[in-house]
Amino acid sequence: MNKINGLICAPFTAFDKNGELNLDVIPRYAQTLANNGIEGVFINGSSGEGQMLTEEERMIAAQAWCKAAPAGFKVIVHVGGNSVKASKLLAAHAAKAGAYATSVMGPTFPKINRIQELADYCAEIASGAPELPFYYYHIPAFTGINLSMLELLKAVDGRIPNFAGIKYTFESLFEYSLCHRYQGGKFDILHGQDETLLASLAMGGAQGCIGGTFNYAAGLYVKIRDAYAKGDMVLAQQLQQKSWDLIEVICRYRGNIVAGKQIMRLLGLDLGPNRTPFQNMTDAEFAKMSEELSAIHFADFAIKLA
């Protein structure tokens, strides 16, 4: 299968003031990301509050993103959940909608504790859209599933024909590298931690990266990749440190899913509130966060809206 070489953004799901899907902003959102160097999107995942959407909403969002995607813009649809049957239906719908690939994070109930269980889970859902590449989304902080991803690759190799690779959102660059090197680089191991993007390039051999802060700072990460490719490690490190400054700010305001969504509003693209149980930012918090972003000169590397 073809491997992704570039940045994939994990966009937020837009809601209106009543908490319903706001599809009207998606064409501008997609074009903005494309204009800022993003190769595609990973929708209905953690940044997109996918597990808090109904199955119908997830299908509606997938349809809208696929329709709005500029030419060559990849739409990866997260279809995971506790119901394998529902996930297979979502995968089949994604294929019909024109998605590039599907992906699943492991279920939260029951918690999977064995590689074979995880391989079975992936195999059944991947079969819902056998014509599309399938990625497992490794994010132990959300799922509590902290199994060896190298062992997962061994378990699915030759068993799941459309298994493309892993969206790897975890701290172990060592394991990431082992997965990347498995069978001479057979699978596409997409790096999923924005704060260690440079390290993944330098140590892990990363090509494709998926991130949430790409929503509002895409150009910063494009420049990190470019500086690394040119061998300018000093510049690459300086740029990565700017991303650390940004991430430190959003971590003080409940992280990317909450704070990041409101940064988009700050830039002029109102994506609405987060769904319960996320605690939305107060006006005072928004004002204070805006001050902190100004202090790190966020405007110098913020995305420009289409």
CA distance linking residue 222 with residue 229, whole number of Å: 11
* Cis bond before residue 110 (omega within 30° of 0): yes
Of 207, 221, 238, nearest to 303 by C-alpha is 221
Residue 167 is among the residues annotated as catalytic for this protein: yes
Angle, vertex CA 70, rays to CA 66 and CA 76, nearest 5: 40
**Strand runs (DSSP E) across 146-280, as ranges?**
163-168, 188-191, 208-211
Instruction: Say if CB 197 and CB 221 are below 8 A apart.
Output: yes
Q: Is 109 exposed, middle or buried (0-12, 13-18, 19+ CB in 10 A)?
A: exposed
- Of 100, 136, 137, 221, the catalytic one is 137
Neighbours of 235 (CB within 10 A): 15
- Of 74, 88, 167, 223, the catalytic one is 167
Extract the tokens encoding 28.
Answer: 């501008």
Extract the tokens encoding 154.
Answer: 């061994």
Q: For residue 202, which phi and psi values (nearest 5 degrees)?
A: -75, -35
Residue 230 is among the residues annotated as catalytic for this protein: no
Element (H, E) at 176: helix 173-181
Of 64, 79, 62, 74, nearest to 28 by C-alpha is 64
Extract the tokens encoding 288.
Answer: 């204070």
The residues annotated with a catalytic role in the active site are 137, 167
